[in-house]
Structure 1
Amino acid sequence: MMTRQTFILTLLLLAIPSLLHAEYATSKLETDIPYRSEEGLDDYAKQQCRLDVHTPPDKGFATVVWFHGGGLEAGDKKIPKYLMDNGYAVVSANYRHSPQVKAPVYLEDAAAAVAWTFANIEKYGGDPTKIFISGHSAGGYLTSMLVLDKRWLEPHGIDPNDLAGAIPHSGQTFTHFTIRKERGLGRETGVADDLAPLYHVRKDTPPLLLTTGDRNLEFPFRYEENALLFKMLESVKHPDVQLYELQGFTHGNMVEPGVLLMTRFIEKHSKDD
Protein backbone atom coordinates (compact mmCIF):
# COMPACT_ATOMS: atom_id res chain seq x y z
CA MET A 1 0.00 0.00 0.00
CA MET A 2 1.39 3.42 -0.91
CA THR A 3 2.09 5.75 1.98
CA ARG A 4 3.34 9.30 2.52
CA GLN A 5 5.96 9.38 5.23
CA THR A 6 7.76 12.09 7.16
CA PHE A 7 11.36 11.55 8.23
CA ILE A 8 12.48 13.27 11.46
CA LEU A 9 16.09 14.13 12.32
CA THR A 10 17.39 12.23 15.36
CA LEU A 11 20.75 11.43 16.91
CA LEU A 12 20.27 7.87 15.71
CA LEU A 13 20.07 9.12 12.11
CA LEU A 14 23.44 10.81 12.50
CA ALA A 15 25.01 7.63 13.86
CA ILE A 16 23.67 5.15 11.30
CA PRO A 17 25.77 6.18 8.22
CA SER A 18 29.07 5.38 9.96
CA LEU A 19 27.67 2.06 11.15
CA LEU A 20 26.42 1.32 7.66
CA HIS A 21 29.82 1.89 6.05
CA ALA A 22 31.45 -0.37 8.64
CA GLU A 23 29.52 -3.34 7.20
CA TYR A 24 31.28 -3.24 3.83
CA ALA A 25 34.84 -3.61 2.58
CA THR A 26 36.51 -0.76 0.71
CA SER A 27 35.69 -0.87 -2.98
CA LYS A 28 37.45 0.05 -6.21
CA LEU A 29 37.13 3.30 -8.19
CA GLU A 30 37.71 3.70 -11.93
CA THR A 31 37.35 7.20 -13.37
CA ASP A 32 36.74 9.10 -16.62
CA ILE A 33 35.31 6.29 -18.72
CA PRO A 34 33.63 7.54 -21.92
CA TYR A 35 30.03 6.32 -22.15
CA ARG A 36 29.40 7.50 -25.72
CA SER A 37 31.34 6.60 -28.83
CA GLU A 38 33.63 9.59 -29.30
CA GLU A 39 33.41 9.43 -33.08
CA GLY A 40 31.78 12.65 -34.29
CA LEU A 41 31.62 14.25 -30.83
CA ASP A 42 32.97 17.75 -30.31
CA ASP A 43 35.55 18.48 -27.62
CA TYR A 44 32.95 19.56 -25.07
CA ALA A 45 30.97 16.34 -25.51
CA LYS A 46 34.15 14.26 -25.23
CA GLN A 47 34.97 16.06 -21.99
CA GLN A 48 31.52 15.73 -20.41
CA CYS A 49 30.27 12.34 -21.58
CA ARG A 50 32.31 10.39 -19.06
CA LEU A 51 31.55 8.47 -15.90
CA ASP A 52 33.20 7.02 -12.80
CA VAL A 53 32.54 3.48 -11.59
CA HIS A 54 32.81 2.62 -7.91
CA THR A 55 32.42 -1.12 -7.31
CA PRO A 56 32.38 -3.35 -4.21
CA PRO A 57 34.70 -6.37 -4.06
CA ASP A 58 31.98 -9.02 -4.14
CA LYS A 59 29.92 -10.24 -7.12
CA GLY A 60 26.27 -9.96 -8.12
CA PHE A 61 25.90 -6.53 -6.53
CA ALA A 62 23.27 -3.91 -7.26
CA THR A 63 24.23 -0.67 -9.01
CA VAL A 64 22.96 2.89 -8.77
CA VAL A 65 23.54 5.27 -11.70
CA TRP A 66 23.99 8.69 -10.08
CA PHE A 67 23.39 12.11 -11.68
CA HIS A 68 24.77 15.21 -9.96
CA GLY A 69 22.87 18.41 -9.28
CA GLY A 70 23.67 21.93 -10.42
CA GLY A 71 20.57 23.23 -12.17
CA LEU A 72 21.52 21.50 -15.46
CA GLU A 73 24.13 24.27 -15.76
CA ALA A 74 26.97 23.05 -13.52
CA GLY A 75 28.17 20.21 -11.30
CA ASP A 76 30.56 17.28 -11.42
CA LYS A 77 30.43 13.50 -11.28
CA LYS A 78 32.84 13.11 -8.36
CA ILE A 79 31.29 10.47 -6.10
CA PRO A 80 30.49 11.85 -2.61
CA LYS A 81 31.99 9.88 0.26
CA TYR A 82 28.58 8.99 1.70
CA LEU A 83 27.68 7.26 -1.59
CA MET A 84 30.69 4.94 -1.36
CA ASP A 85 31.06 1.55 0.32
CA ASN A 86 27.37 0.93 0.91
CA GLY A 87 27.38 -2.55 -0.64
CA TYR A 88 26.33 -1.48 -4.14
CA ALA A 89 28.18 -0.05 -7.13
CA VAL A 90 27.87 3.63 -8.05
CA VAL A 91 28.15 4.75 -11.67
CA SER A 92 28.39 8.54 -11.48
CA ALA A 93 27.94 10.30 -14.81
CA ASN A 94 28.71 13.77 -16.06
CA TYR A 95 26.51 15.21 -18.78
CA ARG A 96 26.55 18.30 -20.95
CA HIS A 97 25.22 21.51 -19.40
CA SER A 98 23.13 24.46 -20.48
CA PRO A 99 23.82 26.94 -22.07
CA GLN A 100 26.51 25.03 -24.03
CA VAL A 101 23.66 22.70 -25.05
CA LYS A 102 19.91 22.89 -24.65
CA ALA A 103 17.14 20.43 -23.84
CA PRO A 104 16.93 17.55 -24.43
CA VAL A 105 20.69 16.95 -24.82
CA TYR A 106 21.28 16.37 -21.10
CA LEU A 107 18.45 13.83 -21.05
CA GLU A 108 20.01 12.04 -24.01
CA ASP A 109 23.37 11.98 -22.21
CA ALA A 110 21.80 10.62 -19.03
CA ALA A 111 20.07 7.87 -21.01
CA ALA A 112 23.36 6.97 -22.72
CA ALA A 113 25.06 6.63 -19.30
CA VAL A 114 22.31 4.26 -18.14
CA ALA A 115 22.65 2.27 -21.37
CA TRP A 116 26.41 2.01 -20.79
CA THR A 117 25.70 0.59 -17.34
CA PHE A 118 23.32 -2.05 -18.67
CA ALA A 119 25.91 -3.06 -21.27
CA ASN A 120 28.96 -3.09 -18.99
CA ILE A 121 28.18 -3.57 -15.30
CA GLU A 122 28.29 -7.36 -15.51
CA LYS A 123 31.98 -7.11 -16.52
CA TYR A 124 32.62 -5.42 -13.16
CA GLY A 125 30.78 -8.16 -11.27
CA GLY A 126 27.38 -6.45 -11.07
CA ASP A 127 23.92 -7.86 -11.74
CA PRO A 128 22.25 -6.07 -14.70
CA THR A 129 18.82 -6.91 -13.27
CA LYS A 130 19.62 -4.78 -10.18
CA ILE A 131 20.25 -1.36 -11.74
CA PHE A 132 18.75 1.69 -10.02
CA ILE A 133 18.94 5.33 -11.07
CA SER A 134 19.18 8.31 -8.74
CA GLY A 135 20.42 11.86 -8.41
CA HIS A 136 20.01 15.09 -6.52
CA SER A 137 18.20 18.24 -7.67
CA ALA A 138 18.85 18.47 -11.43
CA GLY A 139 20.00 14.86 -11.18
CA GLY A 140 16.70 14.03 -9.51
CA TYR A 141 14.88 15.64 -12.44
CA LEU A 142 16.87 13.53 -14.92
CA THR A 143 16.11 10.44 -12.83
CA SER A 144 12.37 11.07 -12.84
CA MET A 145 12.29 11.77 -16.56
CA LEU A 146 14.21 8.61 -17.47
CA VAL A 147 12.02 6.33 -15.37
CA LEU A 148 8.67 7.89 -16.31
CA ASP A 149 9.16 8.88 -19.98
CA LYS A 150 10.13 5.91 -22.16
CA ARG A 151 11.45 8.08 -25.03
CA TRP A 152 14.97 8.50 -23.66
CA LEU A 153 16.01 4.90 -23.05
CA GLU A 154 14.10 3.46 -26.00
CA PRO A 155 16.80 4.31 -28.63
CA HIS A 156 19.19 2.11 -26.61
CA GLY A 157 16.82 -0.85 -26.59
CA ILE A 158 16.01 -0.37 -22.90
CA ASP A 159 12.60 -0.07 -21.31
CA PRO A 160 12.58 1.97 -18.06
CA ASN A 161 10.72 -0.96 -16.53
CA ASP A 162 13.98 -2.93 -16.84
CA LEU A 163 15.28 -0.78 -13.98
CA ALA A 164 15.06 -2.14 -10.45
CA GLY A 165 13.96 1.24 -9.10
CA ALA A 166 14.45 5.00 -9.14
CA ILE A 167 15.26 7.44 -6.33
CA PRO A 168 15.03 11.14 -7.27
CA HIS A 169 16.29 13.33 -4.42
CA SER A 170 14.67 16.78 -4.43
CA GLY A 171 14.11 16.77 -8.18
CA GLN A 172 11.77 19.11 -10.01
CA THR A 173 8.64 17.45 -11.31
CA PHE A 174 7.48 20.41 -13.41
CA THR A 175 9.46 21.27 -16.55
CA HIS A 176 12.89 22.16 -15.18
CA PHE A 177 13.46 25.88 -14.56
CA THR A 178 16.59 25.84 -16.75
CA ILE A 179 14.55 24.53 -19.66
CA ARG A 180 12.06 27.34 -19.00
CA LYS A 181 14.99 29.76 -18.97
CA GLU A 182 16.14 28.43 -22.35
CA ARG A 183 12.66 29.32 -23.62
CA GLY A 184 12.80 32.82 -22.20
CA LEU A 185 10.45 32.03 -19.30
CA GLY A 186 10.96 32.93 -15.63
CA ARG A 187 11.20 30.52 -12.71
CA GLU A 188 7.75 31.48 -11.51
CA THR A 189 6.14 30.47 -14.80
CA GLY A 190 4.68 27.06 -14.10
CA VAL A 191 5.06 24.66 -17.03
CA ALA A 192 4.34 20.93 -17.08
CA ASP A 193 4.71 19.88 -20.71
CA ASP A 194 6.30 16.77 -22.19
CA LEU A 195 9.62 17.62 -20.50
CA ALA A 196 7.99 17.44 -17.06
CA PRO A 197 7.95 14.20 -15.05
CA LEU A 198 4.35 15.03 -14.08
CA TYR A 199 3.35 14.74 -17.75
CA HIS A 200 4.35 11.08 -17.84
CA VAL A 201 2.72 9.65 -14.73
CA ARG A 202 1.97 5.94 -15.14
CA LYS A 203 1.33 3.13 -12.72
CA ASP A 204 3.65 0.51 -14.22
CA THR A 205 7.05 2.03 -13.41
CA PRO A 206 9.59 0.27 -11.20
CA PRO A 207 9.49 1.13 -7.47
CA LEU A 208 9.97 4.82 -6.72
CA LEU A 209 11.39 6.58 -3.67
CA LEU A 210 10.90 10.37 -3.63
CA THR A 211 12.78 12.48 -1.07
CA THR A 212 12.94 16.21 -0.39
CA GLY A 213 14.24 18.49 2.31
CA ASP A 214 12.00 20.29 4.78
CA ARG A 215 9.25 22.16 2.90
CA ASN A 216 10.07 25.29 4.91
CA LEU A 217 13.81 25.07 4.13
CA GLU A 218 13.78 23.67 0.61
CA PHE A 219 13.81 25.54 -2.69
CA PRO A 220 10.38 27.09 -3.24
CA PHE A 221 7.76 24.52 -4.31
CA ARG A 222 10.23 21.60 -4.35
CA TYR A 223 8.40 19.61 -1.70
CA GLU A 224 5.02 20.53 -3.16
CA GLU A 225 6.06 19.43 -6.66
CA ASN A 226 7.13 16.04 -5.33
CA ALA A 227 3.99 15.75 -3.23
CA LEU A 228 1.94 16.38 -6.38
CA LEU A 229 3.86 13.69 -8.27
CA PHE A 230 3.32 11.31 -5.36
CA LYS A 231 -0.43 12.00 -5.28
CA MET A 232 -0.74 11.58 -9.03
CA LEU A 233 1.08 8.24 -8.89
CA GLU A 234 -1.15 7.28 -5.99
CA SER A 235 -4.23 8.23 -8.03
CA VAL A 236 -3.25 5.87 -10.86
CA LYS A 237 -2.67 3.13 -8.26
CA HIS A 238 1.09 2.82 -8.53
CA PRO A 239 1.92 -0.18 -6.33
CA ASP A 240 5.24 0.96 -4.86
CA VAL A 241 5.93 4.67 -4.39
CA GLN A 242 7.01 6.48 -1.21
CA LEU A 243 7.60 10.15 -0.37
CA TYR A 244 9.84 11.30 2.48
CA GLU A 245 10.12 14.88 3.67
CA LEU A 246 13.41 15.18 5.59
CA GLN A 247 12.46 17.63 8.31
CA GLY A 248 15.18 19.99 9.45
CA PHE A 249 17.21 19.57 6.25
CA THR A 250 17.76 22.11 3.49
CA HIS A 251 17.94 21.43 -0.24
CA GLY A 252 21.71 21.14 -0.04
CA ASN A 253 22.18 18.99 3.05
CA MET A 254 19.29 16.57 2.58
CA VAL A 255 21.32 14.33 0.27
CA GLU A 256 23.26 12.37 2.90
CA PRO A 257 20.20 11.25 4.90
CA GLY A 258 18.45 10.74 1.57
CA VAL A 259 21.20 8.31 0.57
CA LEU A 260 20.64 6.41 3.82
CA LEU A 261 17.00 5.92 2.81
CA MET A 262 18.12 5.02 -0.72
CA THR A 263 20.51 2.36 0.59
CA ARG A 264 17.73 0.64 2.51
CA PHE A 265 15.48 0.94 -0.57
CA ILE A 266 18.15 -0.69 -2.77
CA GLU A 267 18.65 -3.48 -0.25
CA LYS A 268 14.91 -4.17 -0.21
CA HIS A 269 14.43 -4.14 -3.97
CA SER A 270 17.56 -6.03 -5.00
CA LYS A 271 17.01 -9.20 -3.00
CA ASP A 272 17.31 -12.31 -5.16
CA ASP A 273 13.84 -13.47 -4.15
Structure 2
Amino acid sequence: MRIVEYRAEHDGVLVGRLLRREGISHRLLVELKKDPEGITVAGQPVRSIDRLHAGDVVQVQVRETDRSDIVPQPGLPLSLAYEDEDLFVVRKPAGMAVHPSPQNRENTVANALAARYQQRGEPFAFRAIGRLDKNTSGLLVLAKNALSACLLTAAAQQKRMFHEYLAVCTGELPPEGTIDAPIGRVDGSVIARQVRPDGERAVTHYTRLAYANGYSLARIRLETGRTHQIRVHMQYIGHPLPGDFLYGPNDMGRIDRHALHAAFLTLPQPVTGERLCFSDPLPEDMRRFFPEL
Protein backbone atom coordinates (compact mmCIF):
# COMPACT_ATOMS: atom_id res chain seq x y z
CA MET A 1 0.00 0.00 0.00
CA ARG A 2 1.19 3.55 -0.76
CA ILE A 3 -0.35 6.58 0.95
CA VAL A 4 0.31 10.15 -0.21
CA GLU A 5 -1.28 13.50 0.56
CA TYR A 6 -2.07 16.54 -1.57
CA ARG A 7 -3.11 19.95 -0.23
CA ALA A 8 -5.70 22.19 -1.88
CA GLU A 9 -4.36 25.71 -2.34
CA HIS A 10 -7.67 27.37 -3.25
CA ASP A 11 -11.37 27.11 -2.40
CA GLY A 12 -13.63 25.32 -4.85
CA VAL A 13 -11.20 23.06 -6.65
CA LEU A 14 -12.63 19.64 -7.51
CA VAL A 15 -10.99 16.60 -5.89
CA GLY A 16 -10.58 14.87 -9.24
CA ARG A 17 -9.11 17.96 -10.88
CA LEU A 18 -6.58 18.37 -8.07
CA LEU A 19 -5.45 14.76 -8.37
CA ARG A 20 -5.26 14.85 -12.17
CA ARG A 21 -3.18 18.03 -11.95
CA GLU A 22 -0.79 16.21 -9.62
CA GLY A 23 -0.27 13.56 -12.33
CA ILE A 24 -2.69 10.82 -11.27
CA SER A 25 -4.02 9.16 -14.40
CA HIS A 26 -7.70 8.72 -15.25
CA ARG A 27 -7.27 4.95 -14.97
CA LEU A 28 -5.80 5.14 -11.46
CA LEU A 29 -8.45 7.65 -10.40
CA VAL A 30 -11.15 5.16 -11.47
CA GLU A 31 -9.48 2.44 -9.36
CA LEU A 32 -9.19 4.75 -6.35
CA LYS A 33 -12.91 5.57 -6.50
CA LYS A 34 -13.74 1.86 -6.16
CA ASP A 35 -12.03 1.75 -2.74
CA PRO A 36 -13.96 3.44 0.12
CA GLU A 37 -10.61 4.46 1.62
CA GLY A 38 -9.00 5.31 -1.71
CA ILE A 39 -9.61 9.08 -1.53
CA THR A 40 -10.34 10.75 1.80
CA VAL A 41 -10.29 14.16 3.46
CA ALA A 42 -9.93 14.23 7.26
CA GLY A 43 -10.58 10.49 7.28
CA GLN A 44 -13.86 10.74 5.35
CA PRO A 45 -14.38 9.37 1.84
CA VAL A 46 -14.83 12.00 -0.86
CA ARG A 47 -15.86 11.84 -4.51
CA SER A 48 -13.88 13.18 -7.42
CA ILE A 49 -16.65 15.76 -8.03
CA ASP A 50 -16.56 17.11 -4.47
CA ARG A 51 -15.17 20.61 -3.99
CA LEU A 52 -12.37 21.39 -1.56
CA HIS A 53 -11.58 24.29 0.74
CA ALA A 54 -8.16 25.91 0.76
CA GLY A 55 -5.94 23.91 3.11
CA ASP A 56 -7.88 20.66 2.79
CA VAL A 57 -5.56 17.65 2.64
CA VAL A 58 -6.61 14.91 0.25
CA GLN A 59 -5.21 11.52 1.21
CA VAL A 60 -4.77 8.95 -1.55
CA GLN A 61 -4.38 5.30 -0.58
CA VAL A 62 -3.20 3.02 -3.38
CA ARG A 63 -3.49 -0.71 -2.72
CA GLU A 64 -1.29 -3.07 -4.73
CA THR A 65 -3.61 -5.51 -6.47
CA ASP A 66 -1.74 -6.23 -9.73
CA ARG A 67 0.40 -9.35 -10.07
CA SER A 68 2.84 -10.24 -12.85
CA ASP A 69 3.10 -13.86 -13.96
CA ILE A 70 6.88 -13.87 -14.30
CA VAL A 71 9.24 -16.70 -13.35
CA PRO A 72 11.66 -15.63 -10.57
CA GLN A 73 15.32 -16.26 -11.45
CA PRO A 74 17.81 -15.66 -8.63
CA GLY A 75 21.39 -14.87 -9.55
CA LEU A 76 20.87 -12.93 -12.77
CA PRO A 77 23.49 -10.18 -13.31
CA LEU A 78 21.46 -7.12 -12.36
CA SER A 79 22.52 -4.47 -9.86
CA LEU A 80 20.58 -1.60 -8.32
CA ALA A 81 21.76 1.98 -8.70
CA TYR A 82 18.94 3.28 -6.47
CA GLU A 83 15.84 2.16 -4.61
CA ASP A 84 13.18 3.91 -2.53
CA GLU A 85 9.56 3.09 -1.73
CA ASP A 86 8.39 4.23 -5.17
CA LEU A 87 10.98 3.14 -7.73
CA PHE A 88 14.05 1.18 -8.72
CA VAL A 89 16.88 2.36 -10.95
CA VAL A 90 18.73 -0.71 -12.25
CA ARG A 91 21.93 -1.16 -14.24
CA LYS A 92 20.91 -3.35 -17.15
CA PRO A 93 23.72 -5.33 -18.77
CA ALA A 94 23.93 -5.76 -22.53
CA GLY A 95 22.28 -8.96 -23.73
CA MET A 96 19.46 -8.89 -21.15
CA ALA A 97 15.94 -8.10 -22.35
CA VAL A 98 13.78 -5.84 -20.18
CA HIS A 99 10.73 -8.12 -20.04
CA PRO A 100 9.79 -11.63 -21.20
CA SER A 101 8.43 -12.27 -24.68
CA PRO A 102 6.69 -15.32 -26.18
CA GLN A 103 10.07 -16.43 -27.57
CA ASN A 104 12.06 -15.61 -24.42
CA ARG A 105 10.40 -16.18 -21.04
CA GLU A 106 13.56 -16.03 -18.92
CA ASN A 107 16.83 -14.17 -18.30
CA THR A 108 15.22 -10.71 -18.30
CA VAL A 109 15.18 -7.73 -15.94
CA ALA A 110 11.66 -8.77 -14.94
CA ASN A 111 12.81 -12.28 -13.96
CA ALA A 112 15.62 -10.82 -11.84
CA LEU A 113 13.28 -8.44 -10.01
CA ALA A 114 10.66 -11.18 -9.52
CA ALA A 115 13.35 -13.18 -7.67
CA ARG A 116 14.18 -10.16 -5.50
CA TYR A 117 10.51 -9.78 -4.54
CA GLN A 118 10.20 -13.51 -3.89
CA GLN A 119 13.11 -13.32 -1.45
CA ARG A 120 11.35 -10.47 0.35
CA GLY A 121 8.05 -12.36 0.44
CA GLU A 122 6.25 -9.53 -1.37
CA PRO A 123 3.83 -9.59 -4.32
CA PHE A 124 5.38 -8.51 -7.62
CA ALA A 125 4.04 -6.37 -10.44
CA PHE A 126 6.49 -5.41 -13.18
CA ARG A 127 6.27 -1.77 -14.30
CA ALA A 128 9.13 -0.60 -16.52
CA ILE A 129 9.02 3.11 -17.36
CA GLY A 130 10.40 3.25 -20.87
CA ARG A 131 12.59 0.51 -22.24
CA LEU A 132 16.06 -0.27 -23.52
CA ASP A 133 16.82 -2.62 -26.41
CA LYS A 134 18.17 -6.00 -25.34
CA ASN A 135 21.71 -5.12 -26.44
CA THR A 136 21.69 -1.57 -25.04
CA SER A 137 23.23 -1.43 -21.58
CA GLY A 138 22.64 1.15 -18.87
CA LEU A 139 20.17 2.74 -16.50
CA LEU A 140 16.51 1.71 -16.47
CA VAL A 141 13.63 2.97 -14.28
CA LEU A 142 10.98 0.69 -12.79
CA ALA A 143 8.00 1.80 -10.72
CA LYS A 144 7.12 -0.06 -7.53
CA ASN A 145 3.42 0.79 -7.42
CA ALA A 146 0.57 2.01 -9.61
CA LEU A 147 0.85 5.57 -8.27
CA SER A 148 4.55 5.99 -9.03
CA ALA A 149 4.03 4.31 -12.41
CA CYS A 150 1.52 6.91 -13.60
CA LEU A 151 3.51 9.83 -12.10
CA LEU A 152 6.76 8.67 -13.72
CA THR A 153 5.01 8.08 -17.04
CA ALA A 154 3.68 11.64 -16.89
CA ALA A 155 7.18 12.92 -16.08
CA ALA A 156 8.59 11.12 -19.12
CA GLN A 157 5.88 12.54 -21.39
CA GLN A 158 6.63 16.03 -20.06
CA LYS A 159 10.39 15.57 -20.66
CA ARG A 160 11.11 15.85 -16.92
CA MET A 161 12.52 12.31 -17.02
CA PHE A 162 15.13 11.61 -19.68
CA HIS A 163 18.23 9.61 -20.58
CA GLU A 164 21.46 10.68 -22.17
CA TYR A 165 23.47 8.02 -23.97
CA LEU A 166 27.07 7.22 -24.79
CA ALA A 167 27.63 5.67 -28.21
CA VAL A 168 30.66 4.51 -30.13
CA CYS A 169 30.35 5.61 -33.76
CA THR A 170 32.49 4.68 -36.75
CA GLY A 171 34.55 7.50 -38.22
CA GLU A 172 35.19 10.99 -36.89
CA LEU A 173 32.00 12.76 -35.90
CA PRO A 174 31.76 16.55 -36.12
CA PRO A 175 32.33 18.18 -32.71
CA GLU A 176 28.56 18.51 -32.24
CA GLY A 177 25.37 18.44 -34.21
CA THR A 178 21.64 17.85 -34.46
CA ILE A 179 19.99 15.27 -36.71
CA ASP A 180 16.40 16.15 -37.62
CA ALA A 181 15.21 13.37 -39.94
CA PRO A 182 11.92 11.40 -39.89
CA ILE A 183 12.04 7.69 -39.11
CA GLY A 184 9.67 4.98 -40.33
CA ARG A 185 9.54 1.23 -40.75
CA VAL A 186 11.52 -0.42 -43.55
CA ASP A 187 9.06 -1.85 -46.07
CA GLY A 188 8.59 -5.57 -45.52
CA SER A 189 10.39 -5.60 -42.14
CA VAL A 190 8.88 -5.92 -38.68
CA ILE A 191 12.04 -4.73 -36.91
CA ALA A 192 14.18 -2.46 -39.09
CA ARG A 193 13.67 1.30 -39.35
CA GLN A 194 15.05 3.92 -41.73
CA VAL A 195 14.99 7.63 -42.41
CA ARG A 196 12.14 8.22 -44.85
CA PRO A 197 10.01 11.26 -45.79
CA ASP A 198 6.75 9.68 -44.58
CA GLY A 199 8.19 8.72 -41.19
CA GLU A 200 7.61 10.35 -37.81
CA ARG A 201 9.74 13.35 -36.86
CA ALA A 202 12.89 12.34 -34.99
CA VAL A 203 15.49 14.69 -33.49
CA THR A 204 18.85 13.62 -32.05
CA HIS A 205 21.48 15.93 -30.50
CA TYR A 206 25.08 14.76 -30.12
CA THR A 207 28.47 15.95 -28.87
CA ARG A 208 31.74 14.22 -29.71
CA LEU A 209 33.69 13.44 -26.54
CA ALA A 210 36.66 11.56 -27.99
CA TYR A 211 38.13 10.22 -31.24
CA ALA A 212 40.67 7.40 -31.58
CA ASN A 213 41.62 4.76 -34.12
CA GLY A 214 38.74 5.51 -36.46
CA TYR A 215 35.98 5.67 -33.83
CA SER A 216 34.20 8.51 -32.03
CA LEU A 217 32.64 8.50 -28.58
CA ALA A 218 29.45 10.58 -28.57
CA ARG A 219 27.16 11.84 -25.83
CA ILE A 220 23.63 11.80 -27.21
CA ARG A 221 20.36 13.38 -26.11
CA LEU A 222 17.05 12.52 -27.73
CA GLU A 223 14.37 15.11 -28.33
CA THR A 224 11.99 12.39 -29.59
CA GLY A 225 11.81 8.68 -28.82
CA ARG A 226 11.49 6.67 -32.03
CA THR A 227 12.37 2.99 -32.25
CA HIS A 228 16.14 2.52 -32.86
CA GLN A 229 16.45 6.31 -33.22
CA ILE A 230 20.14 6.67 -32.31
CA ARG A 231 21.18 3.68 -34.38
CA VAL A 232 19.21 4.79 -37.45
CA HIS A 233 20.29 8.44 -37.24
CA MET A 234 23.97 7.61 -36.85
CA GLN A 235 23.82 5.31 -39.86
CA TYR A 236 22.00 8.06 -41.80
CA ILE A 237 24.84 10.57 -41.28
CA GLY A 238 27.48 7.97 -42.15
CA HIS A 239 28.64 7.06 -38.63
CA PRO A 240 26.90 3.78 -37.70
CA LEU A 241 27.51 2.06 -34.38
CA PRO A 242 29.99 -0.82 -34.48
CA GLY A 243 28.49 -4.19 -33.67
CA ASP A 244 25.05 -3.16 -34.92
CA PHE A 245 23.76 -6.16 -36.89
CA LEU A 246 20.87 -4.13 -38.35
CA TYR A 247 22.47 -0.81 -39.21
CA GLY A 248 26.21 -1.06 -38.69
CA PRO A 249 29.33 -2.27 -40.49
CA ASN A 250 30.39 -5.90 -40.41
CA ASP A 251 32.81 -5.55 -37.46
CA MET A 252 31.32 -7.94 -34.92
CA GLY A 253 34.86 -9.04 -34.05
CA ARG A 254 35.38 -5.78 -32.13
CA ILE A 255 32.19 -5.88 -30.10
CA ASP A 256 29.35 -8.41 -30.06
CA ARG A 257 26.48 -5.92 -29.67
CA HIS A 258 25.67 -2.39 -30.84
CA ALA A 259 27.87 0.03 -28.90
CA LEU A 260 25.21 2.01 -27.04
CA HIS A 261 24.93 2.71 -23.31
CA ALA A 262 22.23 4.60 -21.36
CA ALA A 263 24.79 6.34 -19.16
CA PHE A 264 22.90 9.26 -17.63
CA LEU A 265 19.41 9.48 -16.15
CA THR A 266 17.50 12.43 -14.70
CA LEU A 267 14.04 12.15 -13.16
CA PRO A 268 11.86 13.60 -10.39
CA GLN A 269 11.10 11.44 -7.38
CA PRO A 270 7.43 10.85 -8.26
CA VAL A 271 5.94 11.76 -4.87
CA THR A 272 8.33 14.36 -3.42
CA GLY A 273 9.40 15.91 -6.73
CA GLU A 274 13.08 15.80 -5.69
CA ARG A 275 15.38 15.86 -8.72
CA LEU A 276 17.35 12.60 -8.97
CA CYS A 277 20.40 12.24 -11.22
CA PHE A 278 22.34 9.04 -11.94
CA SER A 279 25.28 8.00 -14.08
CA ASP A 280 26.67 4.61 -15.07
CA PRO A 281 30.28 4.24 -16.31
CA LEU A 282 31.09 3.22 -19.86
CA PRO A 283 31.13 -0.60 -19.97
CA GLU A 284 34.37 -2.41 -20.73
CA ASP A 285 33.38 -3.60 -24.21
CA MET A 286 32.86 0.04 -25.29
CA ARG A 287 35.82 1.40 -23.35
CA ARG A 288 38.18 -0.82 -25.36
CA PHE A 289 37.70 1.47 -28.36
CA PHE A 290 39.32 4.33 -26.41
CA PRO A 291 42.25 2.88 -24.42
CA GLU A 292 43.45 6.32 -23.28
CA LEU A 293 40.19 7.28 -21.58
**TM-score, normalised via structure 1 length:** 0.26
Larger radius of gyration: 2
Q: Which structure ranks higher in relative contact order (CA pairs < 8 Å, sequence separation ≥ 6)?
A: 1
Greater share of helix residues, 1 or 2?
1
**TM-score, normalised via structure 2 length:** 0.25
